[in-house]
Amino acid sequence: MTPASSMNAALERQPPRLMLADPILTMTGIEKSFGDVRALRGVDVTVYPGEVLGIVGESGSGKSTLLRMMNLEDMPDRGEYHLALPGQEDLNLFTLDRFSRRMLRARHIGIVYQNPHLGLRMNNTSSGNVAERLLMAGERSFAVLRARAKESLDASEFPISRMDARPSELSGGMQQRVQLAKAIALEPALLLLDEPTTGLDVSVQALVLDTLKRLQRERRITMVIVSHDLGVIRTMADRVMVMRNGDVVEQGLADQIFQDPQHEYTQQLVHAKL
Amino acid sequence: MKLDQLTKPWEAFSYGFLDQSAKREMRRRILKAIAIPGYQVPYASREVPIARGWGTGGLQVTLTLLKPSSVVKVIDQGADDSVNASSIRKFLRRVSSARETLDTMEADVIQSRHRIPEEKLREDQILVLQVPNPEPLRPVQPDMSEARIMHGDADYGQLWLTLYEQLVRSGRIMQGSSYPSMVNGRHVMTPSPIPRWDVPKMHMAANLTILSAGREKRIHAVPPYTRVEPLVFDDVPYRIEDHADKTCYRSGVTGFFMNELPQDDGSSSFEVSDSQYGVKHIRRQEGEPVTLGETYYREGRLER
Ligand SMILES: Nc1ncnc2c1ncn2[C@@H]1O[C@H](COP(=O)(O)OP(=O)(O)O)[C@@H](O)[C@H]1O
Ligand SMILES: [Mg+2]
């Protein structure tokens, strides 16, 4: 099989069972360059309600750039982005003004970054970091803020006795749990995870992934998880998208990708991992 | 044409010290500030013969407002007789020939540092507050351009977070003076470093308040009958300083904002901070015909 035809086969293989519902997220033709670097070369993404989409690829393949666009933090040079949100008009979200993008992100999207400094105010309390989300959504009762911050931290398996500690005083694993609590506080339509366990000890990594899996099972949160680590993607994802140099080289159900990778690059990744 | 035909006759200074173009600019900025309550309007702050930080912002506004028939009062933390207040007053008299007064009720324009008088201001009076730091977002966002975007978006989550953190860490709101307040439901302003006691006086006040920062070159305003609401949680009420039951040792008045005077034995005595209000009480006790104005507070409780 030539590389080109293997690529087509890989891209056309569709996940049968999850296709039944309408997608919650649709991105088409996303292109982005940073100077001479073409970080994204016309990427299409579809995410269905309640599923976990894993995006895997080596460092520099454009995963984080794509996730930042899903979070409306960054804008592409070309491409469209639609989210099916209840009561919201369907439009290309990249055409919204900065304020509307911010409001939409605050209400409907949660994100956990690899680097907790990007997601947290390190010198505020952990509960305050969660409460800020609720404050932005207009919650003005101190008692309710406390209760909901607590509930969210608890759901992220963060020890409540430490809820008023500063993230700067916490371990990396705990910082990720605070980020997670903040991300899920408003029950987002979409939870984005950018290498959420990279940089953690392996044992801590497993615990954080357990929490994510439990949350996913209990709340059916739609997630997009990015990692260069195939093991993390295998643990978490229902469906997998493989990226390389700003292109999607293969996508499909996680089982198919891991057991029967079509594209050479995926085969290399999978075999290197085994 | 000769040079002396092109020059104007020599003058020591313009009426009201500031030149006409400076005043015109000030008036435009003030009008804009009134049109967008609580919004900080930049202006080209001029040099005036007092040092930056000593009320140059307030002074420029007052100079712009005065006319020869005006009656002006100047106070510094409630007192008419501080060096700063009396120098500003002397200067205003020299450059505007406006009449000075100590009586709040008599004044057209009141320039003040860090206090609002206890007697209610009327529609025909203007309060000019001197402001050191006009930006309530500065503690959470030092970048002024970012802070302006946040005001544009009414993005005040971080101010609320600051209050949340105070409640978590100390069990109460620690913010004393300069309590951040929402004006007309839209812009959060600092009311200048007035005590919490004074902030409710601004809410739906009959008078116009102009707040001016000379060093920071910003003016904001609270027009008459405008909502001024301190940021508070629904279930944690706004608290003023507990001066309600304190009595002034000089005038005997009770239920107003007091200055605390520590005594050698460790106790404190108190004197009413609005000094002229105390003086009026004393004069009335001595039989002089003094008119006391209505006050915002009565027996230490806010009159609504
Ligand atoms: N803000 C930026 N400025 C310049 N280049 C960037 C920027 N962000 C990403 N890139 C480049 O885009 C490419 C993709 O980066 P990234 O999305 O972070 O990859 P990944 O997350 O897959 O490691 C890389 O070559 C990276 O150097
Ligand atoms: Mg990355």
Q: Which of B146, B165, B182 to mutate to test the interface with A (most CBs of A within 10 A)?
A: B165
Class of B20-139+177-230 per CATH?
alpha beta
Q: pLDDT per position in chain A (274 positions), as tens? A: 445 555 555 555 555 455 568 999 999 999 999 999 999 999 999 999 999 999 999 999 999 999 999 999 999 999 999 999 988 889 999 999 999 999 999 999 999 999 999 999 999 999 999 999 999 999 999 999 999 999 999 999 999 999 999 999 999 999 999 999 999 999 999 999 999 999 899 999 999 999 999 999 999 999 999 999 999 999 999 999 999 999 999 999 999 999 999 898 999 888 876 5
Q: How far, in Å, are A38, A51, A82, B65, B76 from residue B221 at the CA level?
A: 50, 52, 43, 14, 20
SS (H, E, C) chain A: CCHHHHHHHHHHCCCCHHHHCCCCEEEEEEEEEECCEEEEEEEEEEECCCCEEEEECCCCCCHHHHHHHHCCCCCCCEEEEEECCCCCCCCCHHHCCHHHHHHHHHHHEEEECCCHHHHCCCCCCHHHHHHHHHHHCCCCCHHHHHHHHHHHHHHCCCCHHHCCCCHHHCCHHHHHHHHHHHHHCCCCCEEEEECCCCCCCHHHHHHHHHHHHHHHHHHCCCEEEEECCHHHHHHHCCEEEEEECCEEEEEEEHHHHHHCCCCHHHHHHHHHHC
Residues of chain B that touch chain A, judged by Cβ-Cβ distance less than 8 Å: 152-153, 155, 157-158, 160-161, 164-165, 167-169, 233-236
* All structural domains of chain A with their residue ranges: 22-273
What does pTM read for this prediction?
Answer: 0.90
Distance (Å, rounded) from C-alpha A70 to C-alpha A166? Answer: 29
The domain A22-273 belongs to what CATH superfamily?
A: P-loop containing nucleotide triphosphate hydrolases (3.40.50.300)
Whether residues B236 and A136 touch (CB distance < 8 A) is answered with no
CA distance B168 to chain A (A): 8
State pLDDT tens for residues B210-234.
999 999 999 999 999 999 999 999 9
The predicted model gives B117-126 an average pLDDT of 98
Q: In terms of C-beta distances under 8 Å and separation of at least 24 residues, what long-range contacts does A212-216 make, across chains too?
A: A212/A180, A212/A236, A214/A157, A215/A155, A215/A156, A215/A180, A215/A184, A216/A52
Chain B residues inside the 8 Å CB shell of A99: 152-153
In B, minimum Cα distance to A136 occurs at B157
Select from A99, A136, A164 the Cβ nearest to the Cβ of B168: A164
Whether residues B153 and A143 touch (CB distance < 8 A) is answered with no
Select from A124, A131, A140 the Cβ nearest to the Cβ of B234: A140
CB B220 within 8 A of CB B189: yes
Whether residues B169 and A128 touch (CB distance < 8 A) is answered with no
CB A134 within 8 A of CB A148: yes
| DSSP β-ladder status, B228-230 and A239-244 | unpaired
How many pairs of residues across A and B have Cβ atoms under 8 Å apart? Answer: 45
Distance (Å, rounded) from C-alpha A228 to C-alpha B86? Answer: 71
Of A138, A127, A27, the residue nearest A76 (C-alpha): A27
* All structural domains of chain B with their residue ranges: 20-139+177-230, 258-302
Question: How many C-beta neighbours within 10 Å does residue B145 have?
Answer: 8
